[in-house]
Amino acid sequence: MEAARAVATDLSNTTVLRTVASSASSIIGAAAAAVAEAQPSASTSSSSSFLLLELPFRQLIRLQPPPAFIASTRRMAAHLDVTTVAAIVGFVFVFCLYLIHIIALSYSKYRLHHQVNPNSSLPGVSVIKPIVGTDKNLYQNLESFFTTQYHKFELLFCFHSSNDEAVDVVRSLMNKYPDIDAKMFFKGENVGLNPKINNMMPAYRAARYPLVLVSDSGIFMRPDGVLDMATTMMSHEKMALVTQAPYCKDRDSFDAAFEQLYFGTSHGRIYLAGNCMDFVCSTGMSSMMKKEALDECGGIANFGGYLAEDYFFGRELANRGYKSAISTHPALQNSSSVSISSFLDRICRWVKLRIAMLPHIILVEPLQDCFPSGLIMAFSLKYLLGFNVTTTLILHTIYWISMDYSLMTSMQNGSLGFSAGKFLLIWLLRELSAPLVFIKALLEPTIRWRNNVFHLTWGGRIQPQNS
């Protein structure tokens, strides 16, 4: 469901806390791998070459330091007061956030925006498009799938009702492109409490090809987008999930620029770093899966009890030993109806989902943004080393803005569609609104999406209305 994209926003579902804890271990692991590969006797890996750091991060995190180090650390800790310990923890926490910036930017330069070549040996793709309602960009978005440059695919459109106004849009495109294999499905099947899963069930059962691409109606697909995702999927025998890093197509309005900046900075940073460090970071707006692997997990019907079904797809596949990755081209969201208020409500839904699925994120979620983390670093350095608070805050903010701007231009693959001054204004608005969104999520845990109201139990399951 659209709401689950949040899960990506912050290590999409691994939580910033786990990311912070693993950042240093990941870098050490990368260095160790490079040394190992330099040895003449090192065996050649059969893994795909597109992953920058295909390392066993979870195993690295479990590595135990030498006993002498542990003993000396305990002796030192025994003589520390609570305030000093808090300052040290605060410094390490924010320093690791700095590392996440570097990892995300480096991985974006390595992974994104590569040319892909046609390959007729790639398997066919069944594209499932759940649709509710329309806007002025819907025709353009759907047409980008009818004109995709891929040798074998089908388009499966899912509607809750045959009276949906978007039906006429799809029908006109089917008439315009009669050679494209396209079908429409109505009313869905009741397999759980997640309306998106219910809506997609007939199309999933009818899907003819080994690869299934679930794509939201607001996505504009590049001509080589499906090819890019399928190429990534078949680059490794254990690959079963490929997502496009969420981003936005250029649009003119200030509100659309706000949405684009969010996905190019705060969201993009965590999503890219999480994928680089091999965490589960799956979002459902543009997600390709191997149908055979998904069927091993019970098919999409098995996830009908979860609202953030895309995260649980990724987690279950990972538990079964499958790999996931991002394709080289980001997902281009292209809704015409975006507004700052509606988008902040969208972010708030994601925060509520994360809190329900991963309750301990409450301890980290409000601290990961620029200004809260800047205060933590400033007062930590003031207490530990006597640094000036104002100077630290200024340097911290300059670093944060510079890295965010660099990351967004990397995701954009060029100059932004608006000025640097406008970027700074929107960036400040985004950062200042973040604490308010978090507070609202805590005070109003009920999730409202479209015409539905959801109550979640701990763990992310949808609670039945009569419970």
310 classed as catalytic: yes
Active-site residue, from 216, 228, 310, 404: 310
247 forms beta bridges with 332
Write out the catalytic residue numbers.
310
